[in-house]
């Protein structure tokens, strides 16, 4: 099975030879994997089109486009996962797994009960690291889209973007405790292809009541994710799995 790589260039014509110029992709293909003449690669281009290419010159990193491939790996709705800064490296794990599960974007911001405190310098380095994790996970899971990772300096910078979405949901522990279980499904049933969904998750300490109030004033709806209380790193995976099942298996 051909390995997949994002090469960040416009797709050439079928049968055309071209050089893989992206340094990271070229290094992994020809140095790490030691690809040889005639080996096939699955390439994703800047317009998210996917094609099969055959290596024609190892030294010059040349390949030839041999077949266009259909991309069936993206969710029919664009889901942005946003959460309060979690502890340690949990956001690394979350970014990798939500990418594999189909997230369109990954956002995080400091919530009131976030233990992690990141200054601007650390935010920049963390975002760069997470973007690389998302790239690797998108290649592994054969996606045509790499989720954009964005870390906000404050919560207001995140809420200013609420108007960009067709639906906004809050995974709220108190809603789960009270047995609320219909709003999530009802909201998904109203979504149409290519619409944008934002789903918010709290850090380890949860979401403060005043934050819930602010989100709801801006049009968000609180939802429960079943009867069990999940960890900060588990809830996004549960929600995306449910969204994937709804749109890709049962609808």
* pLDDT-above-90 percentage for the chain: 85
Q: How far apart are CA 195 and CA 84, in angstroms?
A: 24
pLDDT tens digits, 18-47: 999 999 999 999 999 999 999 999 999 998
- Lowest-pLDDT range of 23-37, 168-182, 183-197, 213-227: 168-182
97: its two tokens = 């797994």
Mean pLDDT of the residues in the chain: 93
pLDDT at position 119 is: 82
pLDDT bin (cut points 50, 70, 90) of residue 120 is confident
Residue-level pLDDT at 173 = 75
Q: How far apart are CA 31 and CA 9, in angstroms?
A: 21
Residue burial 29-49, b: 16+ Cβ < 10 Å; e: rest: bbeeeebeeebbbbbbbeeee
pLDDT at 193: 95
Examine the pLDDT at 58 and tell me if it is beyond 80: yes
Determine the Cα–Cα distance for residues 210 and 217; give it in Å rounded to an integer.
Answer: 11
Sketch out the chain's domains with CATH numbers: 4-69 (2.40.240.20), 78-250 (3.40.1280.10)
pLDDT in tens, 80-116: 999 999 998 999 999 999 999 999 999 999 999 998 8
């Amino acid at each position: 099975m051909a390995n997949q790589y994002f090469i960040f260039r416009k797709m050439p014509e079928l049968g055309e030879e071209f050089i893989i110029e992206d340094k990271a992709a070229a290094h992994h293909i020809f140095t790490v994997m030691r690809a040889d003449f005639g080996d096939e690669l699955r390439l994703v281009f800047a317009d998210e089109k996917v094609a099969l290419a055959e290596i024609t010159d190892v030294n010059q990193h040349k390949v030839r486009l041999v077949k266009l491939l259909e991309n069936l790996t993206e969710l029919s709705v664009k889901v942005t996962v946003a959460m309060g800064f979690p502890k340690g490296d949990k956001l690394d794990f979350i970014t990798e797994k939500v990418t594999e599960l189909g997230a369109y974007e990954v956002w995080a911001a400091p919530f009131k009960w976030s233990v992690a405190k990141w200054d601007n310098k650390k935010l920049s380095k963390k975002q760069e690291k997470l973007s690389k994790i998302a790239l690797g996970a998108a290649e592994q899971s054969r996606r045509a889209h790499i989720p954009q990772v964005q870390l906000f300096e404050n919560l207001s910078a995140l809420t200013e973007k609420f108007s960009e979405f067709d639906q906004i949901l809050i995974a709220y522990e108190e809603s789960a405790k009270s047995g609320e279980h219909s709003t999530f499904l009802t909201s998904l049933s109203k979504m149409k292809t290519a619409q944008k969904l934002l789903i918010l998750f709290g850090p380890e300490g949860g979401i403060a009541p005043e934050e819930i109030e602010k989100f709801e004033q801006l049009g968000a709806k609180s939802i429960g994710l079943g009867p069990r209380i999940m960890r900060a790193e588990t809830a996004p995976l549960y929600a995306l799995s449910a969204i994937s099942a709804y749109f890709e298996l049962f609808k």
